Amino acid sequence: MSQHPIRKIAISTGGGDAPGLNAVIRAVTVSALKRGWECWGIRDGYNGLLEPESFPDGGLIHLTRQRVSGIMHQGGTMLGTTNRGNPMNFPVQQPDGSWVEKDRCGELVEKFDAAGFDALITVGGDGSLSIGYHLASLGLRVVGVPKTIDNDLDRTFMTFGFDTAVSFATECLDRLHTTATSHRRIMVVEVMGRYAGWIALHAGIAGNAHVILIPEIPYDIEKVAEAVRDRERAGYLYVIVVVAEGAKPVGGDVSVLGKAVGQAEKLGGIGEKIAAALQERTGRESRTVVLGHLLRGGSPTSFDRLVALRFGAAAVRALEEGMTSVMVSLAPPTVRYEPLKAAISRMKIVTLDCDTMETARDLGIRFGD
Ligand code: F6P
């Protein structure tokens, strides 16, 4: 693979969207143009290169200064994204209608070269960064930018998107307190986060939840019901329970809605199960609210905007300095670079002895253990 000076780079956004993606795209584009490089966006992960015929306007977007103006505060990604375009396990339909997974990475590298790209900036979570690591091992110059509302990526203090998701969930909890207390109900609020409890923990504390259930602490439903009764005994007739979508009972499994070929398993449904179990055990009327994809929408908070802009600019600096197979990482008060391999080798989950957990316990929040 050529290691000549960079003239033309590509950027791709993959996996679930997160507020701040457009800010990264803007920072990458403006920083690249400043260095005299051309910048192109690949649509829908890598589908714009692999399946250009499925895009009426072409699979690549020429990112000019004008093209990226006015996008920074917008949620989503102007490039589009997909959960069904992993080139390592690309879903391909067979003549009989069934689906199989195919490795299309070799083909992707050829198309990348044919398009004249010298380097790739890949913005995504563990899935996209794993693809980036693999493409780097095949010879592409790759810099990763960590993104996920779940905040479950290792080797970075935080990902952008998380603060926006937590802020919105907190606002929702504030609103639910008034209706829960008016009706003296149990409100169970299910939030995203996959197999990590960061969103539930942070929003639950900030939003004054009484019970928080996270994947890192398998819950005993009897203990959760006991927390409801303890509140009743203390004179409080409503309860707010925040449950992470990946929470599971002691000795039980996560609640899975399904899994399609080429995609990660879809979590969900735990909120309803908890609400039904609590209503049955306590006799108190229960309702469920699933915040779901609302947590991924909206304008990024100023924190997420700034992190996203810093990540995008730092990714371009990394390429300029000749780095490859690295991920930009937030290490307050600065950004630095971590090997992609290290970043994808494990998931960052809630550490049970952290001060945030201690704070929650000191405040009387229960975890079902
Ligand atoms: O990883 C981000 C995330 O929002 C998870 O919290 C959630 O489980 C998943 O994506 C849902 O993805 P989708 O509905 O887009 O398949």
| Residue 116 structure tokens | 């004249």
Q: What is the DSSP string of 182-208?
A: HHT-EEEEEE--TT--HHHHHHHHHTT
CB 152, CB 348: distance < 8 Å: yes
Give bridge partners of residue 334 from the DSSP assignment: 331
Rounded distance from Cα 201 to ligand 1 centre (Å): 17
CB 325, CB 133: distance < 8 Å: yes
Of 289, 11, 305, 304, the closest CA to residue 132 belongs to: 11
Q: Which band of pLDDT confidence, cut at 50, 70 and 90, is reported for residue 2?
A: very low
Give the 3-state secondary structure of residue 244. Answer: strand
Closest atom of ligand 1 to CA, residue 125: 1
Give the 3-state secondary structure of residue 133. Answer: helix
183-242, pLDDT tens digit by residue? 999 999 999 999 999 999 999 999 999 999 999 999 999 999 999 999 999 999 899 999
* Residue 322: partners with Cβ closer than 8 Å, 6 or more residues away: none
Q: Which band of pLDDT confidence, cut at 50, 70 and 90, is reported for residue 259?
A: confident
333 cis-preceded (ω within 30 degrees of 0) = yes
pLDDT score, position 201 = 98
Backbone angles phi, psi at 79, to 5 degrees: -90, -15
Rounded distance from Cα 192 to ligand 1 centre (Å): 7
Q: Which helix (H) or strand (E) holds 221?
A: helix 221-233
- Cα(141)–Cα(36) distance, rounded to whole angstroms? 18
With vertex at residue 312, the alpha carbon angle to CA 128 and CA 110, rounded to the nearest 5 degrees, is 45
pLDDT score, position 206 = 98
122-135, pLDDT tens digit by residue? 999 999 999 999 99
> Which DSSP letter does residue 97 get?
S
Residue having the nearest C-alpha atom to atom 13 of ligand 1: 16
Rounded distance from Cα 16 to ligand 1 centre (Å): 6
CB 30, CB 65: distance < 8 Å: yes
Which of the residues 44, 150, 152, 163 is marked catalytic? Answer: 150
What percentage of the chain has pLDDT greater than the value 70? 99
Mutate to test the pocket of ligand 1, among 21, 44, 126, 150 (most ligand atoms within 8 A of CB): 150
Residue having the nearest C-alpha atom to atom 3 of ligand 1: 16
pLDDT score, position 94 = 92
Mean pLDDT of 292-311: 97
Q: Could you tell me what percentage of the chain is helix, strand and coil, using 3-state DSSP and rounding each to the nearest 5? A: 40, 20, 40
100-118, pLDDT tens digit by residue? 889 999 999 999 999 999 9
313-347, pLDDT tens digit by residue? 999 999 999 999 999 999 999 999 999 999 999 99
Give bridge partners of residue 242 from the DSSP assignment: 189, 212
Rounded distance from Cα 87 to ligand 1 centre (Å): 19
* Residue 265: partners with Cβ closer than 8 Å, 6 or more residues away: 256, 258, 259
| Residue 356 structure tokens | 């945030």
Between residues 268 and 264, the one the model is more confident about:
268
Q: Are strands 119-124 and 142-146 parallel, antiparallel or unpaired?
A: parallel
Closest atom of ligand 1 to CA, residue 246: 8
Neighbours of 254 (CB within 10 A): 18
Residue having the nearest C-alpha atom to atom 10 of ligand 1: 16
Looking at this protein, which amino acid is placed at residue 125? G
Residue having the nearest C-alpha atom to atom 15 of ligand 1: 16
Tally of residues, the chain: 369
| Residue 18 structure tokens | 């997160």
Exposed e or buried b per residue across 13-32, where buried means at least 16 C-beta atoms within 10 angstroms of its C-beta: bbbbbbbbbbbbbbbbbbbb
Q: Which band of pLDDT confidence, cut at 50, 70 and 90, is reported for residue 1?
A: very low
Mean pLDDT of 258-276: 91
CB 241, CB 276: distance < 8 Å: no
Query: Is residue 298 over pLDDT 50?
Result: yes
- Cα(271)–Cα(247) distance, rounded to whole angstroms? 9
Rounded distance from Cα 262 to ligand 1 centre (Å): 14
- Cα(326)–Cα(341) distance, rounded to whole angstroms? 8
Rounded distance from Cα 226 to ligand 1 centre (Å): 31
- Cα(56)–Cα(53) distance, rounded to whole angstroms? 7
Has 353 been annotated as catalytic? no
Closest atom of ligand 1 to CA, residue 193: 6
Q: What's the whole-number average pLDDT of the chain?
A: 96
49-76, pLDDT tens digit by residue? 999 999 999 999 999 999 999 999 999 9
Write out residues with Cβ below 6 Å of ligand 1: 16, 83, 125, 148-150, 192-194, 245, 266-267, 296
CB 75, CB 298: distance < 8 Å: yes
- Cα(237)–Cα(231) distance, rounded to whole angstroms? 7
Closest atom of ligand 1 to CA, residue 199: 6
